[in-house]
Amino acid sequence: DVKVTQSSRYLVKRTGEKVFLECVQDMDHENMFWYRQDPGLGLRLIYFSYDVKMKEKGDIPEGYSVSREKKERFSLILESASTNQTSMYLCASNPRGQITYEQYFGPGTRLTVT
Amino acid sequence: GENVEQHPSTLSVQEGDSAVIKCTYSDSASNYFPWYKQELGKGPQLIIDIRSNVGEKKDQRIAVTLNKTAKHFSLHITETQPEDSAVYFCAASKAWGNTPLVFGKGTRLSVIA
């Protein structure tokens, strides 16, 4: 079974802190994605990556950056956390050439910025 | 870019009844339409998908229909059960254009026993 794990289920950070959210998948997938989920807004794409060291902006990249140094790991970075970044963050992956086929999601990280 | 509208935002049905969730999309070039189910405390999981060369697809109690002319697609769940209670998301993309999924805002389905 495909497994996508996220480093924390719950995280509380202070405004201005640098925050790292880690995502690891064990199925050798080329494509990885970061979404944020907010009530009434659905899933919005922040960044995605289709290969190591490659990254593409999604719909809401402002205030975020990403890192993909290894194929299995995709990190989301909040350089200076703000209260409007309080949200649920979901990571997903799928194999190359099928960027729009089934995406496998992690359980999510609920981030609270105070 | 693509825009996906999903209705209703909440839906309550009696156990055993049917549930229908509808989505519309804006980009006529979109040709892949998946549906994801998110249970409490979990990430979304694909339950069914359809491509634009097919008008309907069924998998046991769930079915999806697609009307390309009207640019809308629907999820149908028959004989609903309490375990169908979840948030459902529709999505659209251009599968052969290497573009990511664009999701609707979600529908919270409650099945009342």
Amino acid A90: pLDDT: 98
Residue B96's SS3 state is: helix
Amino acid B97: pLDDT: 44
Do residue B100 and residue A101 have CB atoms under 8 angstroms apart? no
What's the gap in Å between the CA of B37 and the closest CA on chain A?
11
Distance, in Å, from the CA atom of A44 to the CA atom of A52, rounded to the nearest integer, reads 22
Q: Which region among A15-24, A48-57, B3-12, B88-97 has the lowest average model confidence (pLDDT)?
A: B88-97
Q: What sign does the CA torsion over A59, A65, A69, A75 have?
A: negative
Residue B82's SS3 state is: helix
Q: How far is CA B82 from the centre of its chain?
A: 18
Cβ neighbours of B42 in A, within 8 Å? 107-108
Q: Along the 113 residues of chain B, how does pLDDT read in single tens digits?
A: 899 999 999 999 999 999 999 999 999 999 889 999 999 999 999 999 998 888 899 999 999 999 999 999 999 999 999 999 999 999 998 865 467 899 999 999 999 99
Amino acid A8: pLDDT: 92
What pLDDT, in 10s, does the model give residues A65-86? 999 999 999 999 999 999 999 9
Distance, in Å, from the CA atom of A94 to the CA atom of A105, rounded to the nearest integer, reads 9
Radius of gyration of chain A (CA): 13
Mean pLDDT of A52-67: 95
Closest-approach residue (CA) in chain B for A103? B46
